[in-house]
Amino acid sequence: KRKRKYSSNKIILCNTPLAKDLLHPSPEEKKKHKKKRLVQSPNSYFMDVKCPGCYKITTVFSHAQMVVLCVGCSTVLCQPTGGKARLTEGCSFRRKQH
């Protein structure tokens, strides 16, 4: 029989601080490609868009690929482009928190 050199009930804690702040990346880190960042995160997000006519709020994806219409008055809130959707002039938006 071989003797075990390690024990499964011992825990080693290390209190050394990290060299970089993972929760609050620098502006240079945010500009990097989504896969090449220190912590991978998507470029897309959801947002609440307020209609300038009837003031109803609609949730819209930042990279929407279809025209989004207002539920109340059927005005166009955003139009798709190659990447991010373009908001209609006069629409206000707020980025949703996850």
The full DSSP string for 17-73 is: PPSS-SSS--HHHHHS-TTTSSS---S--EEEEE-TTT--EEEEETT--S-EE-TTT
What residue ranges do the domains of the chain occupy? 43-95
pLDDT in tens, the chain (98 residues): 555 555 566 666 667 776 778 888 888 988 999 999 988 989 999 999 999 999 999 999 999 999 999 998 999 999 999 999 999 999 999 999 86
pLDDT of residue 34: 92
43-95: CATH class:
mainly beta
For the entire predicted model, the pTM comes to: 0.71
pLDDT in tens, 2-13: 555 555 666 666
